[in-house]
Amino acid sequence: MSEGSIDAYRIRQEPYYRPQGNEISLFEAAYGARLPVMLKGPTGCGKTRFVEHMAWRLRRPLIVVACNEEMSASDLLGRYLLEGGGTRWQDGPLTIAARFGAICYLDEVVEARQDTLVVIHPLTDDRRLLSLPAKSETLVAHPEFLLVVSHNPGYQSALKDLKPSTKQRFGAIAFDYPARELELEILVHETALPPDLGERLVSMAEAARRLKGHGIEEGVSTRMLVHAGSLIRRGVSVEAACQMALVQPLTDDPDLILALNSTVRACL
- List of residues contacting other proteins (CB under 8 A): 69-70, 74, 79-82, 85-87, 157-160, 200, 203, 207-208, 210-211, 214-215, 253-260, 262-268
Smallest separation, CB 262 to other proteins (Å): 4
CB 114 within 8 A of CB 67: no
**Most distant CA pair in the chain: distance in Å?**
68
CB 163 within 8 A of CB 120: no
Q: Would you say 160 or 163 has its CB closer to other proteins?
A: 160
Smallest separation, CB 159 to other proteins (Å): 7
Q: Would you say 141 or 238 has its CB closer to other proteins?
A: 238
Smallest separation, CB 69 to other proteins (Å): 7
Smallest separation, CB 101 to other proteins (Å): 28
Look up residue 111 and give its amino acid: E
CB 150 within 8 A of CB 38: yes
- What three-state secondary structure class fits 78? strand
Edge-first strand order for the sheet with 146-151 is: 62-66, 103-107, 146-151, 37-40, 171-174
Smallest separation, CB 182 to other proteins (Å): 20
Q: Would you say 38 or 242 has its CB closer to other proteins?
A: 242
Q: Would you say 36 or 219 has its CB closer to other proteins?
A: 219
Smallest separation, CB 120 to other proteins (Å): 20
Smallest separation, CB 254 to other proteins (Å): 4
Please give the backbone phi and psi of residue 106, each rounded to the nearest 5 degrees, phi first.
-95, 105
Q: Would you say 98 or 267 has its CB closer to other proteins?
A: 267
Angle (nearest 5°) at CA 127 between 123 and 132: 50
d(CA 1, CA 81): 14
Q: Would you say 19 or 195 has its CB closer to other proteins?
A: 195
| Other beta carbons less than 10 A from residue 163's beta carbon | 12
CB 102 within 8 A of CB 6: yes
Q: Would you say 125 or 217 has its CB closer to other proteins?
A: 217
d(CA 163, CA 208): 33
Q: What secondary structure letter does DSSP report for 107?
A: E
